[in-house]
Amino acid sequence: MKPPMNDDPHNRARRLIDMERVEGLAREDQRWLRDHLAACETCAGRAARTEAALRALRTASVSMPRGLAAAAQSTLRRRAEELRAQHTRNVALAIGCTLSWLFGVASAPLVWKVCAWVGTTLDLPRVVWVLGFAAWWFIPVSAMGVVILWLRRRWERESPAFGSRW
């Protein structure tokens, strides 16, 4: 990013001093800044103070409270266990859904014949026994939805962190 041409040279030097530390400078800007700092004591002082401040920040030590690392490890370990348990639940749910779908597809022709037989035996209108066939598909799915919601509420009670991710 090039500063505007009509800018004050000292403002340009200040901007370039800061840019040099953050994103680097083009060769042309580096040359201009080097020449300006050689000629301007004020801007050279600012560059020296900036460098000294950065050096001080790099060497400053930050003390950690006692037990922070152990607490962080414990939290990470607990979170990893929660993720493993959640993964196990998700795999079990996926397997259950797949088996349910496969058994539903496999049993559909038989269920259709049973519903048709019941409809003709009881002299029910076609729409009634077709709705019975549809109920065969929707009632188990609805029941599983209720079970899943119930389990989710239970997991939320057992692990408060679980609910915050949903």
Most confident of 45-49, 141-145, 157-161: 45-49
Whether the CB-CB separation of 37 and 10 falls below 8 Å is answered with no
Mean pLDDT of 38-67: 89
What is d(CA 47, CA 25) in angstroms, rounded to the nearest whole number?
A: 15
CA 155 from centre of chain = 21
Q: Which residues contact 9 (CB under 8 A, 6 or more apart)?
A: 36, 40
Model-level pTM?
A: 0.40
Report how far apart, in Å, the C-alpha atoms of 145 and of each of 26, 88, 139 are: 62, 18, 10
What is d(CA 100, CA 145) in angstroms, rounded to the nearest whole number?
A: 13
Query: What's the mean pLDDT when you consider all of the chain?
Result: 86
